[in-house]
Structure 1
Amino acid sequence: MQTILGSGGAIGVELAKALKEYTSQIRLVSRNPKKVNKTDEIFSADLLNASEVNEAVKGSTTVYVAVGFPYNLKIWKENWPQFTSSVIDACIMHNCKLVFFDNIYMYDSNYLNGMDEQTPINPPSKKGKIRAEIANMILSKIKEGKLTALIARSADFYGPGIKNTSMLTETVFKPLSIGKKANWMASLNYKHSFTYTPDAGKATALLGNNEKAYNQVWHLPTAENPFTGKEWINAIAKEMDVKPKTQTATKFIVKILGLFIPLMREMPEMMYQYDRDYVFNSDKFTDNFDFKVTPYLTGIREIIASDYSNKKAS
């Protein structure tokens, strides 16, 4: 049995699709889980309840963490360490391998141009400190020999069917699709990598089913040579056949946008990711596995075909 904790989000759904290549025994766990594949087992659980996490994990060979708690610092402080501790304990108790889907908030802000698995850990934000804490919880148990696990890290992500959890969706795709200005934080002139969610799902499933991948950190496959902010907006507008109307969002504007877009309320401390090149290196993965990474333009076209083909900008 391979179990996904947090199965209803953008990554969980893509992961469930990808896992069917490796097994027909997939358990989807969330408060209100829904099947992705016909043979999926659904398991309703409160993932902040340690006993329910334990029951959800029981009988699994591999447990994937694809949870996305609300993007709020207070909630992250309360939920992430508690949840991570419960998952680690359950995996150790039931002798399950753990695959933890992670981001890059813990990396030193001076090393974002070409960041890889060896990038220094020095979180520049409060959210980053939480991510560093929970990653260290996992890595320390691996080092102690008590846990078999891997951490799979993604850049900011984009993909079809994402609701309210992708910056690129909220600030570029959605506004351009209804004739409004795209909003790009800090500066339009810096490169910014995005990981395509179907690629992330497939790659996470591949790692989870490959023994040699464990007890390591991996960057999930992400297209090389990312666009600058201006190039992202121009490319998306061109594929939508709309004008690339643009507004650069200062911290003040981001705070105003937060009144209307919940995701933006938490972004002022994260703006450092947009005032310098943010280039994600996944060479370790592509050097070790035969994997075709989705080019950026292909990803853009697939998102528009999936989510915006019936919308017209006014």
Structure 2
Amino acid sequence: MQTILGAGGSIGVELAKILPAYTDTIRLVSRKPQKINTGDELFPADITNAADTDEAIKGSEVVYLTVGFPYRLKIWQERWPATMRNVIDSCKKHNARLVFFDNIYMYDRDHLHHMTEETPVRPASKKGAIRQQIADTLMNEVKQGDLTALIARSADFTNGRSSMLHQLVTDNLMKGKKANWLVNADKIHNFTFVSDAAKGTAILGNTPNAFNQVWHLPTDAAKLTGRQWIELLAAELNAKPRYSVLSNTMLGLLGFFMPVLKEVKEMTYQYDRDYFFDSTKFNERFSYTPVTAKDAVHLITLEQGA
């Protein structure tokens, strides 16, 4: 059996669609899980609770930790370390292999122009410090030989409801509004297509010799700027590529009315410089070609019914 913890999020849903190629038994775990495949086992649970987590993992061969907590620092501080501890302890107890779906928040801000699995870790934000903490917790268990696990790391998503590209650009253009971008629209920023991330995660989880290391999930290597992403999406949507750039000052002011923007502000360093996520290690190991930026934009608009 293969188990998805956090089965209701963008990556969890896509991963569930792919796993039938690898296993006949899939357990979907979340507070209110919903079937993706007819044979899915639904397991309602709160994975911040140790007992729930243990029951959810029991009997699993591979466990995918894809949960996404609300984007608030206080919630991350309260839930992430405890959740990682619960999952690690249960995977060790039940001899399950763990795949942790991660992001790049812990990377040194001075190395975002070319990120690989060897990029130095030096978080520039409080959320990044939490991501470093939980990744270190996992890899320390691996180094001690107590756990078989891997980290599958993704760049920002091109699509999905939590995607900044969707929230700032695609959704606005579809509504006939100006797109928004953060800080500087002339800096490079590549994105991971959700289906590529899910396929890569499934491949890694079902490749025994891929464990006990970090992998970057397959991501197109096109070096597009924010402005070029807006132009691509506008052309696909038959919209004008109008946009506004949100400065840190503007985010601070808007944060009084939209609390989520307060949470985004500490992460804007990812937009004031080039951001290039390199997945060469994965692409070469598995002979994988990621979805191109142009094709991703076309597929995104189809998803939205545009």
2:6 corresponding residue in structure 1: 6
Could you list the per-position Cα deviations for residues 140-172 of structure 1 after superposition, in whole angstroms to 9, with x for gaps in the alignment?
Answer: 00000000000000000122xx22x11001000
Is residue 39 from structure 1 mapped to residue 42 from structure 2 by the alignment?
no
Kept after mapping to 2: 8 A contact 1:220/1:282 = yes
Equivalent of 2:214, from 203, 212, 217? 217
1:52 corresponding residue in structure 2: 52
Equivalent of 1:250, from 247, 251, 263? 247
Could you list the per-position Cα deviations for residues 237-289 of structure 1 after superposition, in whole angstroms to 9, with x for gaps in the alignment?
Answer: 11100101110000122234446655433111101000000000000001100
Is residue 231 from structure 1 mapped to residue 208 from structure 2 by the alignment?
no
Provide the rounded CA distance (Å) in 1 between the counterparts of 2:80 and 2:262: 19
2:204 corresponding residue in structure 1: 207
Equivalent of 1:295, from 285, 292, 296? 292
Is residue 24 from structure 1 mapped to residue 17 from structure 2 by the alignment?
no
Q: TM-score, normalised by structure 2?
A: 0.98
Question: Kindly, what percent of the aligned residue pairs are identical?
Answer: 51
Q: Offset of 1:179 from its aligned partner? A: 1.2
Aligned residue identity for 2:282 = F
Equivalent of 1:272, from 269, 272, 286? 269
Equivalent of 1:172, from 158, 161, 169? 169
Q: TM-score, normalised by structure 1?
A: 0.95
Aligned residue identity for 2:182 = M
Residues 98, 75 of structure 1: alpha-carbon distance in 2 compared, 3 angstrom cutoff: same
Provide the rounded CA distance (Å) in 1 between the counterparts of 2:219 and 2:88: 28
Alignment of 1:50-199 (within 5 A): 50-159=50-159, 162-163=160-161, 165-199=162-196
- What SS does the corresponding residue of 1:152 show, helix, strand or coil? strand
Equivalent of 1:282, from 279, 282, 285? 279
Kept after mapping to 1: 8 A contact 2:223/2:276 = yes
Residues 29, 198 of structure 1: alpha-carbon distance in 2 compared, 3 angstrom cutoff: same
Kept after mapping to 2: 8 A contact 1:6/1:67 = yes
Report the aligned-residue RMSD: 1.1
Q: Offset of 1:306 from its aligned partner? A: 1.4
- What SS does the corresponding residue of 1:303 show, helix, strand or coil? helix
Q: Which runs of 5+ in 2 are unaligned?
A: none
Q: Offset of 1:224 from its aligned partner? A: 0.4
Kept after mapping to 1: 8 A contact 2:34/2:42 = yes
- What SS does the corresponding residue of 1:115 show, helix, strand or coil? coil
Aligned residue identity for 1:291 = Y
Q: Which runs of 5+ in 1 are unaligned?
A: 310-314
Kept after mapping to 1: 8 A contact 2:142/2:149 = yes
Residues 149, 56 of structure 1: alpha-carbon distance in 2 compared, 3 angstrom cutoff: same
Identify the range of structure 1 (76-85 vs 15-24) with the bigger mean alpha-carbon deviation.
Answer: 15-24
Q: Offset of 1:180 from its aligned partner? A: 1.0
Q: Offset of 1:295 from its aligned partner? A: 0.3
Q: Offset of 1:226 from its aligned partner? A: 2.7
- What SS does the corresponding residue of 1:221 show, helix, strand or coil? coil
Aligned residue identity for 1:122 = R
Aligned residue identity for 1:204 = T
- What SS does the corresponding residue of 1:205 show, helix, strand or coil? helix
Residues 20, 257 of structure 1: alpha-carbon distance in 2 compared, 3 angstrom cutoff: farther
- What SS does the corresponding residue of 1:267 show, helix, strand or coil? helix
Provide the rounded CA distance (Å) in 2 between the counterparts of 1:41 and 1:226: 41
Kept after mapping to 2: 8 A contact 1:177/1:308 = no
Q: Offset of 1:103 from its aligned partner? A: 0.1
Aligned residue identity for 1:190 = K
Provide the rounded CA distance (Å) in 1 between the counterparts of 2:146 and 2:2: 20
Identify the range of structure 1 (288-297 vs 147-156) with the bigger mean alpha-carbon deviation.
Answer: 288-297
Aligned residue identity for 2:202 = A
Kept after mapping to 1: 8 A contact 2:181/2:244 = yes
